[in-house]
Amino acid sequence: MNESPKPKSTGDSDLIARVRAAARQEQFLDVVSAEEARARFERHLNLSPMSSERVALAGAHTRVLARDVVAATDAPPFDRSNVDGFALRAADTWGASDGNPKSLTLNKEVIACGHAPVVTVAPGTCTAIATGGVIPRGADAVVMIEQTDLIEEDQPKIELRRAANSGQFISYAGSDIARGETLLRRGTRIGAREIGMLAACGLDCVEAVRRPKVAVLSTGDELVEPGRPLKPAGVYDSNGAIIAAAVSEAGGEPSTFGAYPDDPVALEKAVRKALDASDMVVLSGGTSKGAGDLSHRIVPRLGKPGILVHGVALKPGKPLCLGVVGGKPIVVLPGFPTSAIFTFQTFVAPVIRAWAGLPPEAVDTVTARIPLRVASELGRKEFVLVSLVEADEGTIAFPTGKNSGAVTSFSQADGFFEIDALASALDAESQVDVTLIGSAARAPDVVIMGSHDVALDVVVGALANRGFSARTLAVGSLGGVAAANRGECDIAPIHLIDPVSGQYNKHLVGPGLSLVPGWRRMQGVLFQRGDARFEGRNAQEALKIVLADRSALMVNRNPGSGTRVLIDKLLDGARPAGYANQPKSHNAVAAAIAQGRADWGLAIAPVAKLYGLGFLPVSPEHYDFLVVDKRRERPAVRAFLEALHDEKTRQAIGALGMEPSA
């Protein structure tokens, strides 16, 4: 019996159609360079940081600060004892030795932590104090209990056999964190250290940049969720996990949508949902032009402008698809794991970082030698992932040798180098610049060492707006001069008067240094409002009164400070009570007066205002910058000087009570 052949089933014709489609190589029509791809993408995006939101300190870890944080209190808040012992006047101990012990009468007070002292330490007396206790009025040093003997008489006494220095075992108010100081800068990612600083200033919440929400989807019939058994021809969805983690690292908030089969209807539905709920959608897989690849086909259906780039002259990563729909980016990364994470880091992470308020990631490179010839495709810029090895003759970069389908080639590489699109190979022994992956925090762009001032924070803030980071180390004016002379810093802010000429700072300009004028700060006498010895008088009159008043207690400054030079000039040899109390900052002086531990001292006008104290002007002090000539042409140093002279910065400096120099 001759049976006629069965009519072809529709299933068969379907299959044949798919075979035909798979064999017909679709081409990427418009392959663009990596630079062009990035430019097109960013042209359609607003890259300013997201709005800010208030976040409780407990939930602030890893968040990015939306605003600078200015310390509202000093830490420590008062002059504090570092040991268990006795608070006293250092002058009472001078000359003490084994042969000549000095004895001091114990006051009827014990200063425990949390106890505000009430008894003044008068000459010849001392007060028992615990570690962390508040230094009482009149005292300027602490001796350790171990170095004293108790004498039991009617009135108990202690005996000492060693002299104490003024300031011994005292941490001055504001020596850790000074009120008014910019504690943390916006764009800073909050880690454990930052949390500790915020808490020490009494802050229980911060303004953080809202984290951009990024939906992460994987596509492919073969994908299996980690944790499930692997089916035949199945592959674990590793892209979903690595992309979600990379979103967090870039400052975003990932929402994982999971893996979808190559089914256009289900996928479109999922992508629409993701787009609604997020600021950005990242898919991986299905962007090639082969069978089953349809992720990119969905994008034009979602809205305008749709696909901006499909096909980048880049290896790994050619099939990358970048689109924007209604202001939201939608990105289809290549499915191959190395290509996926590489293109994510190159094109997507910078957008998330910008939205999250983070600065662009620093690129660190090292020069290395390649031990073997590396072939490359003409017409595509190629990135070769390498492992670095330190050899006697220098660093060697070994290509990891795995293709872009490998998961480990990116995860285990130390870095990568580029082969130009126009080169077909790189010869063995060539030198290459290797960009490091996940390298350590970068060094600051400018190092500023010297005296600190609140207006310096304004200039450093303006510098940060220009994209440069600064490290400021408060080492005092003299420390700054020394650092500048040794070339350890770029810029040294100083304010030292020449006792001979009476001029500020000019005498410190040595070879290789130049002086750039900063601003003037008014120095004057600080006192508690309402104190009749000062209120309504000028500084000269007030000084005359307090120098004749034995109950008036001053607070001095440390030797070497510009303010101390001025104080000694004013006192003209007089040594009023409290002269030996010599804290190291304007803030500590103001805190001592505000807390009643002293009646007067010298500091700058803005600090008087900060502590609500009265102020009698004495003379303006010049706060200028020594610049190391060799470093003056560095982009960050130039940016600092530009920021300093910028009209907006000058206004902000003026608003703090300083007078910017012409």
Residues lying near ligand AMP in the complex (CB under 6 A) = 218, 220, 222-223, 235, 237-240, 284-288, 290, 293, 334-337, 405
Q: How far is the CB of 402 from Mg ion (least distance, A)?
A: 20
Element (H, E) at 321: strand 321-325
Q: Per CB under 5 A, which region of 96-104, 212-220, 310-318, 414-422 contacts Mg ion?
A: 212-220
* Cβ nearer to Mg ion, comparing 76 with 285: 285
Minimum gap (Å) between residue 405 Cβ and ligand AMP = 6
Bridge partners, 205 (sequence order): 56
Would you say 106 or 294 has its CB closer to ligand AMP? 294
- Decide whether 340 or 356 has the Cβ nearer to ligand AMP: 340
Residues 336-355 binding Mg ion (CB under 5 A) are none
Q: How far is the CB of 51 from Mg ion (least distance, A)?
A: 37
Q: Please, what is the Cα angle at 232 between 227 and 235, to 5 degrees? A: 50
Output phi, psi for 297, to 5 deg.
Answer: -70, -20
Quick one: 220 or 562, whose CB is closer to Mg ion? 220
Residue with Cβ nearer ligand AMP (183 or 274): 274
Number of other CB atoms surrounding residue 82 within 10 Å:
14
Beta carbon of residue 310, minimum distance to Mg ion (angstroms, whole number): 15
- Three-class SS state of 496: coil
Residue number closest to ligand AMP, CB atom: 335
Q: Least separation, in Å, of the C-beta of 13 and ligand AMP?
A: 25
For residue 611, give the nearest of 628, 598, 594 by alpha carbon. 594
- Listed ranges 182-190, 269-277, 335-343, 438-446: which one lies at the site for Mg ion (CB under 5 A): 335-343
Q: What is the DSSP string of 298-311?
A: HHHHH-SEEEEEE-
> Tell me, what DSSP letter sits at residue 50?
P
The answer to the question of residue 254 lying near Mg ion (CB under 5 A) is no
Rg of the chain taking only CA atoms, in angstroms = 34
Residue among 76, 138, 220, 562 that touches Mg ion (CB under 5 A): 220
Residue 634 carries which DSSP code?
Answer: S
Q: Which does 239 bind (CB under 5 to 8 A by kind): Mg ion, ligand AMP, none?
A: ligand AMP
In the complex, what is the shortest distance from the CB of residue 30 to ligand AMP, in angstroms, rounded to a whole number? 19
Name the burial class of residue 26, with classes exposed (0-12), middle (13-18) and buried (19+) by CB atoms within 10 angstroms of its CB.
exposed
Residue 476 has a CB neighbour count (10 Å cut-off) of 20
Least distance to ligand AMP, CB of residue 220, Å: 5
Is there binding between residue 240 and Mg ion (CB under 5 A)?
no
CB of 172 or CB of 383, closer to ligand AMP = 383
Question: Pairing mode, if any, of strands 415-419 and 470-474?
Answer: unpaired
- C-alpha 139/C-alpha 126 separation (Å) is 8
- Among the listed ranges 216-224, 263-271, 447-455, 620-628, the one in contact with Mg ion (CB under 5 A) is 216-224
Residue ranges in 250-356 assigned as alpha helix (H)? 264-277, 295-302, 337-343, 349-355
Nearer to Mg ion, 284 or 585 (CB): 284
Please tell me whether residue 314 adopts helix, strand or coil conformation: strand
Phi, psi (deg, nearest 5) at residue 424:
-95, -10
Binding to Mg ion by residue 286, rule CB under 5 A? yes
**Minimum distance of ligand AMP from residue 322's CB (angstroms):** 15
Question: Which residue's CB comes closest to Mg ion?
Answer: 220
Contact stretch for Mg ion (CB under 5 A) within 70-78, 114-122, 158-166, 279-287: 279-287
What is the C-alpha to C-alpha distance for residues 276 and 268, in angstroms, rounded to an integer?
12
Binding-site ranges for Mg ion (CB under 5 A): 220, 285-286, 335
